[in-house]
Structure 1
Amino acid sequence: MAKCVRAHSVSGHPEGPYRAVQCVDGLVQQELEGVDTLDKLFCYAVSRFTNSPCVGSREILSQDNETQPDGKVFQKLVLGEYKWKSYEEVDHHINFLGRGLSALGQRSRRSIAIFCETREEWMITAQACFRFNYPLVTLYATLGEDAVAFGLNQCEATHLITSKELLETKLKAVLPDVVGLKHVIYVGSGSVSVENYPQSLSIHSLQDVMDFGAKPENLNVQSDSPSPADLAVVMYTSGSTGRPKGVKMHHSNLIAGMAGQCQRIPGLGPEDVYVGYLPLAHVLELTAEISCLSHGCRIGYSSPHTLSDQSSKIKRGSKGDCTVLKPTLIAAVPEIMDRIYKNVMSKVSEMSTLQRVLFNMAYKYKVQQLEHGADTPICNTMVFKRISMLLGGRVRLMLSGGAPLSPDTHRFIKVCFCPVSIGYGLTETCGAATISVFSDCTTGRVGAPLICSELKLRDWAEGGYTSQDKPHPRGEILIGGPNVAMGYYGKETEGESGEFWVDEAGQRWFCTGDVGEVHPDGCLQIVDRKKDLVKLQAGEYVSLAKVEAALKNCPLIDNICVFANSNQNYIISFVVPNQKQLTELANKNGIKGKWEELCNHATLEQEVLKAIKGVATTNKLQRFEVPIKVRLSSQAWTPETGLVTDAFKLKRKELQTHYKHDIERMYGAK
């Protein structure tokens, strides 16, 4: 059994700071000696893995429109095999693109923006920016028009990389409001008509820019190589509240963060295959992919809509990306893992009685064996192999981040698929803070500090959390280390934002707003969120995130948002119900109708409330923590709706606005 990574307080005080045991004498700033910038990291990989496959994508063989029973039209795809570019080929593309951008007027240390879906061209663009010292400004492909315009204007980029689809949909309305933009470079086949865009803009395809950079007169274009202190990325957060903030990451910050992350991933190397489908504008995906490339892994690109055979855009009978790629490594947000869990358990419920009994026996047996550090080869082959084929059958490790993962889902993925490691970090810490080791059998914890990070607990009296709490010290989590970003774009004065500060030893710290407790082995558990704490009229404090995490275990619930008004003495909830479960419940109660009608049916609302109360009792929620009213939403909350972020975190402000009339109704407002 692998040794558990531990941490302890280097000060001897319960508030910390806590460091991984092997880093008592200092934090690690880079993994490889002399490799202190992102361009050097990829050049190192090219020198070692020159002819190995690097990035790959699938060709669209056909696409059809399918009309659903409710009249909606869904696009369905049939995709071919993965086509790969070697590390050397990607290296050439990077040089050509960087020189082509320079020939179009892009200069070192001047920002270039990217607003594009996850794909191999995104990573090639990023690597070109790192090599030619163009700070890369990242914007989520699902950001709203106002947020995109705000980010582009604030960063003052003159060049923008996007996709043909986004250019012809979202950007068309945004570009007239963006000042200073001169060149738009799009990815995708076919040409773009320039008639509908501002005359001040030059529009090019990415291939044309690379061809331009490959011309003899541009082959000797010179650029300033980046230093560790140069700005590498300005990452605009998707923003669960208010306008997005641009987090400034230097090369040294990202190098340190990835050194910490890679140290926790056992056996990372050229035999690994990573599936890239999460937004590359999210720090989890960006650092995961760069880390994989630095160790010679291959990355096959995908999307949440084509990931598995059952994904929404895969034509029935054809293969999803995981089936073709057979990845060994997957990063996921809890929303994705919850879907996998509920889909499989739904199929288990449809099994015969004998099959269901055998599955449950095998499941309980493997849980017991894992807790003792053993495995179950026979059960894996006879029971769990078929389930693991949903993700290609070869996944050896999964990393979850971006939001809390429920213990039930965590345990299920470990039993049916592979070991799961839970990561905790923020955009402001380059994604790195803690990662649990894959051999850790506990749930609900996020591991010990990485070798690049340390953490402190700061007392939060209002919430009732202090470092003197028993059995474990608790408090707001502060993260320090070389991976802590340099602040927010547009707030250049140190300390202006309030979240960042530098101690007397010169160490940078970030105040997370999350509340944690540290276990005796130095592992962290997230227990609350300062911004999610609401005081009810009678004086009780309700942690919205805690209640939501507990109630998401209900099979009837796909997603839930709990709302509390300080002028009231009870809480209410908004629920995206599981369509299959609610439809079965409707049939059981003799209720007929379309999906929207079912979600507006008073009897079904009461049935969901009854299920919520049952789950609340099981999870030992207090009486005042249980919603007494519910509104069922027929519309799923996706990043495209603007009600959740790209990491599927709830946007409470937007949800409150969206359900304003329901809130007034449920609280009895006239």
Structure 2
Amino acid sequence: MSDAQTLIENRPPSVAGLFLERVAATPDGEAYRYPVPPASGQGPDDWKSLSWAQAAERVTAIAAGLIELGVEPEQRVALASATRIEWILADLGIMCAGAATTTVYPQTNAEESAYILADSESRVLIAENAEQLAKAEARREELPELTHVVVIDGEGVETGDRVLTLAELESRGAARLEKEPGLVEERVGAIARDQLATLIYTSGTTGRPKGVRLPHDSWSYMARAIAATGLVTADDVQYLWLPLAHVFGKVLTSGQIEVGHVTAVDGRVDKIIENLPVVQPTYMAAVPRIFEKVYNGVAARARAGGAAKYKIFQWAAEVAREYAKVTQDNFRRTGTASAPFGLSAKHKVADALVYAKIREAFGGNLRACVSGSAALAPDIGYFFSGAGIHILEGYGLTESSAASFVNPGEAYRTGTVGKPLPGTEVRIADDGEILLRGPGIMQGYHKLPEKTAEVLEPDGWFHTGDIGELSPDGYLRITDRKKDLIKTSGGKYVAPAEVEGRFKALCPYVSNILVHGADRNFCTALIALDEAALTEWARENGLEGRPYAEIVAAPATVQMVDGYVRQLNEGLQRWQTIKKFRLLPRDLDVEHGEITPSLKLKRPVVEREYKHLIDEMYEGTREG
């Protein structure tokens, strides 16, 4: 048996157990860093640290406090908060009480929040602030199971028997532990592998979200499997900003507990650029949209610097892509990431002019980034790879506890999602669908046995709904969502994500793009532009000071985007080409329900909302 197999097979039943093991092993080691804004509201944040022992003191107090409120094993405690240190401590406290966390995005509206709280039968809600509390209070009559609300930030909140602050909960827990010091250890010791740990509601593109039931064993397995890959070490510093209500963010907390490295936690997306030089992470996880924004920002700044500077950037970008492709190919064939002398010389010059500044912006110590949740355009992946920002794409779903595949360190291959985690099985069905089996797979959808049966075979194989292909040595390439594949009226299949990804790598002004063409005789696109990049362009093109919608409607803007669409079409098959496009009057966003909180496009929502623009593009054409 290999070391990886031994590590995984000898796992404890729960991450709660792993957490107590970690605290016992390295009590004084640094566990978490988190920002504390200055009292004046001006100036940089002050970053504080928690050791594993200090974290455990708060976690066990939260766990005991929940027990004091009457929470029983497997009962649900909902958590509605942005990513912050208290989210992690509360989640661990819930699990150490033997209960299960129901995750709720802070952006979720009152109606959907109430649905999730009611469907999960959550007994307690841990809410970030008065705003999150108000959502629950507005629907109080629909939530008979909800007995208490605990508020992390108690400013402006009236407390009482039913509503208390997190500090008050911890105080009650500490008092209970004085009387029963072994209470939490007893609860953790009684956790069974198949006991419910997490209920994550998938943000469905249609209808109500489904609650995905993930047992304690899924997270314990994920923690050990991540450690077994060797991708992270105890010396690493992780920067964690992803939404912890999403499975991708949540799995990172499990892996960290097993490995024991430091995690700096701050979910404020607008603080990422400011935080990176302060935190100086060695690794971080992100969704493709972040890398696209960084790429577009670098390109836009180069363009703003004048024609010569932009030409240098374009040259350096091409050198980066060529260098990445050659070195990755050589590593695959020989085990050495080498490049010919001429290319290496060009790369060295480009590094001094362009790449070094990009690495510095990421904090200077970044060993690797993990990208997941959606496909990263290969051209953007190759650019960062050549610039020394190594993006390891991974793949998984809420239903598979997030991490089913990840690229293996130095042997990573851009355009693939790597190899399966140790202990996860994969096979490709006859129609190309990816099937997964292993300890990370969900128990099923909460209270939806018929929906569970649609995707989960009796022998444990899970139907992902994604189409992919495996290389002879086990690397997986995702080609598209099974349900998102477009079949034109001419009978040709088009993978919209592939076309969209190529466009994002070409056009530095794009924010979102949706390719349409199912049952049509040609493909069209709806394109939303990035406001920050577009404002810079507008300044150079006589449109300065105008509102976004006006800039987008200007003939010069349409002409500029048309140039990039023509460039895109040159590299596509005839049936994939974009014959017409429309620019949207605003960017797509979470608030309008057009993208999920993890920044995935909700195609049916966007197509329904902008049906008039789609119809307009097909007016006067013969369909069939």
The CA deviation at 1:581 is 5.2
The residue aligned with 1:79 is 44
The CA deviation at 1:415 is 2.8
- Which of 179, 198, 202 aligns to 2:162? It is 202
The residue aligned with 1:399 is 370
The CA deviation at 1:532 is 0.6
Q: 1:112·1:137 contact (CA, 8 Å) conserved in 2?
A: yes
Query: In the superposition, relative to structure 1, how do residues 427 and 29 fare at CA in structure 2: closer, same or farther (>3 Å)?
Result: farther
- Secondary structure of the residue aligned to 1:599 is helix
The CA deviation at 1:355 is 6.0
The CA deviation at 1:383 is 5.0
- Secondary structure of the residue aligned to 2:31 is strand
The residue aligned with 1:491 is 448
Q: 1:240·1:651 contact (CA, 8 Å) conserved in 2?
A: yes
The CA deviation at 1:277 is 0.6
The residue aligned with 1:500 is 456
The CA deviation at 1:149 is 1.6
The residue aligned with 2:334 is none
Alignment of 1:14-33 (within 5 A): 28=5, 31=8, 33=10
1:195-233 deviations in Å (ceiling 9; x for gaps): xxxx9x811111100001111576414664211121111
The residue aligned with 1:551 is 503
| Counterpart-to-counterpart distance in 2, 1:145 and 1:606 | 42
- Which of 521, 524, 539 aligns to 2:476? It is 524
- Which of 398, 402, 407 aligns to 1:431? It is 402
The residue aligned with 2:295 is 341
The residue aligned with 2:333 is none
Q: 1:420·1:438 contact (CA, 8 Å) conserved in 2?
A: no
The residue aligned with 1:663 is 614
The residue aligned with 2:87 is 122
- Secondary structure of the residue aligned to 2:479 is strand
- Secondary structure of the residue aligned to 2:269 is coil
Q: 1:140·1:238 contact (CA, 8 Å) conserved in 2?
A: no
The CA deviation at 1:432 is 2.4
The residue aligned with 1:443 is 414
The residue aligned with 1:469 is none
Is 1:408 the equivalent of 2:395?
A: no
Report the AA paired with residue 456 of structure 2. F
- Secondary structure of the residue aligned to 1:266 is coil
- Secondary structure of the residue aligned to 1:642 is coil
Alignment of 1:160-559 (within 5 A): 160-167=125-132, 170-193=135-158, 202-215=162-175, 219-220=179-180, 221=183, 224=187, 225-269=190-234, 271-309=235-273, 320-351=274-305, 364=319, 366-367=323-324, 368=326, 372=330, 373-374=337-338, 384-440=355-411, 442-460=413-431, 475-492=432-449, 496-503=452-459, 508-553=460-505, 554-559=507-512
| Counterpart-to-counterpart distance in 2, 1:82 and 1:584 | 33
The residue aligned with 1:637 is 588
More divergent stretch after superposition (26-35 vs 554-563): 26-35
Report the AA paired with residue 479 of structure 1. L
The structure with the greater share of residues assigned to helix is 2
1:347-392 deviations in Å (ceiling 9; x for gaps): 3334577766766676627535565414979666775333212121
Q: 1:577·1:633 contact (CA, 8 Å) conserved in 2?
A: no
Q: 1:144·1:642 contact (CA, 8 Å) conserved in 2?
A: no
Q: 1:571·1:629 contact (CA, 8 Å) conserved in 2?
A: no
Query: In the superposition, relative to structure 1, how do residues 47 and 27 fare at CA in structure 2: closer, same or farther (>3 Å)?
Result: closer
Alignment of 1:87-126 (within 5 A): 87-126=52-91
Report the AA paired with residue 262 of structure 2. R
1:36-55 deviations in Å (ceiling 9; x for gaps): 31111111111121011112
Q: 1:35·1:41 contact (CA, 8 Å) conserved in 2?
A: yes
Q: 2:369·2:392 contact (CA, 8 Å) conserved in 1?
A: yes
The residue aligned with 2:124 is 159
Report the AA paired with residue 521 of structure 2. N
More divergent stretch after superposition (651-660 vs 450-459): 651-660
The residue aligned with 2:25 is 48
| Counterpart-to-counterpart distance in 2, 1:391 and 1:238 | 30
The CA deviation at 1:32 is 7.1
| Counterpart-to-counterpart distance in 2, 1:482 and 1:180 | 31
Query: In the superposition, relative to structure 1, how do residues 30 and 141 fare at CA in structure 2: closer, same or farther (>3 Å)?
Result: farther
1:96-126 deviations in Å (ceiling 9; x for gaps): 1111111112112211111111111111111
- Secondary structure of the residue aligned to 2:209 is coil
The residue aligned with 1:35 is 12
The residue aligned with 1:464 is none
Report the AA paired with residue 199 of structure 2. V
The CA deviation at 1:423 is 0.5
Q: Please report the RMSD computed on the Cα atoms of aligned residues, expressed in angstroms.
A: 3.0
- Secondary structure of the residue aligned to 1:88 is helix
The CA deviation at 1:63 is 7.1
TM-score normalised to the size of structure 1?
A: 0.82
The CA deviation at 1:603 is 5.1
Q: Structure 1, unaligned stretches of length 5 or more?
A: 1-21, 65-76, 310-319, 461-474
Alignment of 1:609-624 (within 5 A): 609-618=562-571, 620-624=572-576
More divergent stretch after superposition (172-181 vs 414-423): 172-181
Identity %: 26
The CA deviation at 1:481 is 1.4
- Secondary structure of the residue aligned to 1:648 is coil
Q: 2:77·2:99 contact (CA, 8 Å) conserved in 1?
A: yes
Query: In the superposition, relative to structure 1, how do residues 544 and 90 fare at CA in structure 2: closer, same or farther (>3 Å)?
Result: same
Is 1:647 the equivalent of 2:603?
A: no
Query: In the superposition, relative to structure 1, how do residues 454 and 587 fare at CA in structure 2: closer, same or farther (>3 Å)?
Result: same
The CA deviation at 1:81 is 2.3
- Secondary structure of the residue aligned to 2:454 is coil
The CA deviation at 1:458 is 1.0
The residue aligned with 1:598 is 551
The CA deviation at 1:655 is 1.6
Q: Structure 2, unaligned stretches of length 5 or more?
A: 331-336
| Counterpart-to-counterpart distance in 1, 2:139 and 2:103 | 16
